[in-house]
Amino acid sequence: MAIFEGMLLLNERRSVVDYGQRLLTHGLTRGTGGNISILNREQGLLAISPSGMDYFEINPEDVVVLDLEGRIIEGKRRPSSEADMHRMVYNGRPDIAAVVHTHSPFATALACTREAQKNGLPPIHYLTALAGPSVRCIPYYPFGTEVLGQAARVGMEGRFAVLMGNHGLLAAGPDIRYAFNVAEELEFVCELYCHARTAGTPTLLSEEDMRVAMERFRVYGQKA
Ligand SMILES: [Zn+2]
């Protein structure tokens, strides 16, 4: 382990490796799709998964460290092609310190529909409240571009997630555990929504229902 000593953001890099593998084992992405980053706000640096590498072959030293202007500070690999999107989300959001991007099947299927691109994911299930009162969906923009990153940042305002038209899902949170949970639970809600729409007309929760659910999530779970 001695070779790891002195590496910037070692804990964050290890978490990027760990949660990258969970993207596959939890069915949230396939192949090398999706990407993860964790921000260390004190140091103003983020650790991000490398571009196009098998998640089970990534080691901490393959994770790339960037500053918030996108400069590579440490790492021999190329950073994820969506690095601009990740760092744009961090700008102006002191409540976000981890970002998870997936191509999970139901969220992505929904993001391919005109209905979702017009209305987003409506509040059909209380778990949506992990992300906010509802989840918006941005139009399609080419992957890996700044214009996509800007649109995602705006789409995520006041939320911890946004659907990306004809592309996938972007989830975020105050730490990687929360961000990953948002990605996983929203995939579940999108699956429910697809099933509910084939079974009938989904009943939407009210603004008050969602406000109460968001409040309950604030006090739910184990204290750190
Ligand atoms: Zn993508």
Q: Which CATH architecture has domain 2-218?
A: 3-Layer(aba) Sandwich (3.40)
What pLDDT sits at residue 42? 96
Which residues make beta-bridge pairs with 98? 38, 173
User: Residue 212 pLDDT more than 90?
Assistant: yes
Active site residue 82: yes
**Domain parsing of the chain, residue ranges:** 2-218
- CB contact burial 10-41 (16+ within 10 A = b; e otherwise): bebbbbbbebbebbbeeebbeebbbbbbbbee
Over residues 5-52, the pLDDT tens digits come to 679 999 999 999 999 999 999 999 989 989 999 999 999 999 999 999
What single-letter DSSP state applies at residue 206?
P
Q: 189: buried, middle or exposed (CB in 10 Å: 19+, 13-18, 0-12)?
A: buried
Mention every residue, 6+ apart, whose C-beta is less than 8 A from residue 208.
none
User: Residue 156 pLDDT more than 80?
Assistant: yes
Over residues 39-72, the pLDDT tens digits come to 999 999 999 999 999 999 999 999 999 999 999 9
Residues 157-181: what's their mean pLDDT?
98
Ligand 1 centroid, distance to 221 Cα (angstroms): 30
Residues with CB under 5 A from ligand 1 (ion): 168
**Active-site residue among 12, 82, 184, 185?**
82
Over residues 124-139, the pLDDT tens digits come to 999 999 999 999 999 9
State both tokens at 16: 């990027």
Query: What does the alpha-carbon distance between residue 161 and residue 164 come to, in Å, rounded to a whole number?
Result: 10
CA 206 to chain centre: 25
